[in-house]
């Protein structure tokens, strides 16, 4: 499984090389900085841990409880959740001031935005550190209230739902609905194709 992940990263870097945005030497240097593991214990010395499990509250609570027990004092625990309450996730730990939402958008190498979502007890220092990290990797961070869907997904999900309703009502074909939004609203991808990319399990 870790090898499959590395292969995906390598393929993504190859696309950057093809577009002349990266050299072979830079790719080699990037891959050399990546350490893979399937054991949570290997994260014990990390300053920041970003959880990116599927959108399942019970699973995330279990992961954060385990991370809290193995992470060093002062380590920040971030969640890539797209909709789940950071306050609820933080409650699974004894370091709620160091828990924050760090929601990246798909595809991560392309999309510039990161939602920074503070829970009820997230400290200003935690927010500052994570915002600085986001900036250092070329992302634009926006501070978002801990509310379902945050900002983008709160508006995006109703749009996707309307596209599904339009399809169900026979307003147009799936391809036509997507093409209409791409050409009429200047979206890079249509709502139905985006729903497939996100995954129906997450969207529902």
The radius of gyration of the chain's CA atoms, rounded to the nearest angstrom, is 19
pLDDT digits 0-9 by tens, 103-145:
999 888 889 999 999 999 999 999 999 999 999 999 999 999 9
pLDDT digits 0-9 by tens, 17-49:
999 999 999 999 999 999 999 999 999 999 999
Domains of the chain listed by start with CATH number: 1-36 (no CATH), 40-144 (3.40.50.720), 152-203 (1.10.1040.10)
Contact 86, 117 (CB under 8 A): yes
- How far apart CA 107 and CA 134 sit, in angstroms, is 16
Asked whether the CA dihedral 131, 137, 142, 147 is positive or negative, the reply is negative
pTM of the entire predicted model: 0.86
Contact 122, 100 (CB under 8 A): yes
Beta bridge partners of 142: 115
List active site positions.
103
Beta bridge partners of 78: 50, 100
């Amino acid at each position: 499984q870790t090898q499959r992940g590395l292969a995906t990263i390598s393929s993504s870097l190859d696309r950057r090389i093809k577009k002349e945005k990266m050299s072979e030497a830079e790719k080699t240097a990037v891959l050399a900085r990546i350490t893979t593991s399937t054991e949570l214990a290997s994260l014990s010395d990390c300053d920041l841990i970003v959880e990116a499990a599927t959108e399942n509250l019970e699973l995330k609570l279990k992961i954060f409880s385990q991370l809290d027990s193995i992470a060093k004092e002062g380590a920040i625990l971030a969640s890539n959740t797209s909709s789940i309450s950071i306050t609820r996730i933080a409650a699974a730990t004894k370091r709620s001031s160091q828990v924050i939402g760090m929601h990246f958008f798909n595809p991560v190498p392309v999309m510039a935005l990161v939602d920074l979502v503070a829970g009820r007890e997230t400290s200003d220092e935690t927010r500052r550190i994570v915002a600085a990290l986001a900036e250092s990797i070329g992302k634009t961070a926006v501070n978002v209230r801990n509310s379902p869907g945050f900002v983008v997904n709160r508006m995006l999900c109703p749009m996707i739902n309307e596209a599904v309703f339009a399809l169900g009502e026979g307003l147009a074909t799936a391809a036509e609905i997507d093409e209409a939004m791409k050409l009429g609203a200047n979206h890079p991808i249509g709502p139905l194709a985006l729903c497939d990319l996100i995954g129906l399990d997450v969207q529902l």
